[in-house]
Structure 1
């Protein structure tokens, strides 16, 4: 083996070890993070590391850890397994994400977080206050246009309570199915997945356009303020349902 070949092999080995042992705290210090994102307490390496705290605007995420597979990079993919928090932290989650030139793919994603994390002090219309928790479970997600190529999952709204200037609405638990319809994000529920007598779907399309097609009927389990407000939705149909239809851009989305 020639001296030149030995030098080349030595340089390659050095670069490999350099990449393997790149410290996470150094990478965070040079990363071009957005102004509203801050990472503290980074330890480990690019391939396996953790951060004690990630702050996004007013939202804080504790105990974030990751594993990045170096073998995926050889074929132009970034395969990452991540874990966030635990049962004692406000926000917890885990799953696998793969990014390539064809887009994003996610598998076995689970997030549990309070409504206060999502709202982060946002001022809602009609002095609305929302309490409760959200659980998101995604079996598979493939990025597409405008949003997805494939999606299968569930969204659970747990112990949801809404209060505004018109009344108090303890909505309880609501289960929503997540799917992909012609590239659009579809969220659906029916009367077996909530106590509100609510059936229908909402579809998020291009340019953040939302189309809601649903109906609701009075039930004994509904909050009193909600049941009394149903008549403002319009006329009941022959089965006792009031219509809920909307098409437009959701403010702030």
Structure 2
């Protein structure tokens, strides 16, 4: 073997080792992060590492770890398994994400987080305050236009309490099904998945246009303030339901 061949092989081996052991803290230091994003305590490598804290605006996510498969990159995909926090942290989650030129795909995603994390100090209309927790479970998500090609999952609103200048509304637990309808994101519930007597769906389409088609009827489990306010929705139908219909852009979306 010639000296030139040995040098070439040595350079290739060096580059492979350099790529394999790319330090996560160095990558974070050169990453073009937005001004509202900060990552601290990064350890490990590009392929397997962790960060002690990720801050996005006023939101903080602790103990973020990841594994990136190098084999997927050979066929133009980035396959990432991630884990966030644990039972002792406010926010926890895990799952698998795959990104390619055809878009994003996610499998077996789960997030558990408090409402305060989602709202992050936002000022809601009518001096509204919301307490509770959210659990998101996604079996499969495939990106499409405008939002999705495929989606199957559940969204749980746990121990939800709403308070505003009009009253107090302990809404309890609400289960919502997540699906994809002609590329649009669909969220649906019925009376078996909540104690509010609520049945219907909301569809998020292009340009953040939301269409709500639902109905609600008085039940003994409803908060008193909510039950007394139902008449403002309109007239009851023959089955005792009040209509809830809306079409437009949700402010802030």
Deviation at 1:144, TM superposition (A): 0.4
Cα distance, 1:86 vs structure 2:
0.2
Report SS of the residue matched to 2:159.
strand
> Shift of residue 232 of structure 1?
0.2
> Which deviates the most, 9-18 or 122-131?
9-18
Please state if 1:140 is matched with 2:146.
Answer: no
Q: Distance in 2 between matches of 1:2 and 1:228?
A: 90
- 1:9 CA drift (Å): 2.6
Counterpart of 1:41 in structure 2 is 41
- Aligned equivalents of 1:6, 1:125: Cα separation in 2: 70
Work out the number of aligned pairs and report it: 253
Residue 225 in structure 1 maps to residue 203 in structure 2: no
Distance in 1 between residues matched to 2:193 and 2:14, nearest whole Å: 57
Output the CA distance in 2 between the equivalents of 1:3 and 1:186: 64
Q: CA deviation at 1:128?
A: 0.1
- Which residue matches 1:203? 203
| Unaligned stretches of 5+ residues in structure 1 | none
Distance 2:39 2:168 in 1: 38
Deviation, 1:174, is 0.1
1:89-128 CA distances to partner (integer Å, 9 max, x unpaired)? 0000000000000000000000000000000000000000
What is the CA distance between 1:8 and its match in structure 2?
Answer: 2.7
Q: Distance in 1 between matches of 2:239 and 2:3?
A: 87
**Could you report, residue by residue, the CA deviation over 1:58-100 in whole angstroms, capped at 9, with x for unpaired residues?**
0000000000000000110000000000000000000000000
Query: Normalising by structure 2, what TM-score?
Result: 0.99
| Whole-Å separation in 1 of the counterparts to 2:200 and 2:220 | 20
In the TM superposition, residue 32 of structure 1 has moved relative to its aligned partner by 0.2
Corresponding residue of 1:171: 171
Report the CA distance between 1:2 and its aligned residue. 4.2
Give the superposition deviation at 1:11: 2.0
Q: Deviations over 1:10-63 (max 9, x none)?
A: 222211110110110010000000110000000000000000000000000000
Consecutive unaligned residues in structure 2, runs of 5 or more: none
Secondary structure, in 3 states, of the residue corresponding to 1:185?
strand
Inter-partner Cα distance in structure 2 for 1:227 and 1:42: 51
Q: Deviations over 1:182-206 (max 9, x none)?
A: 0000000000000000000000000
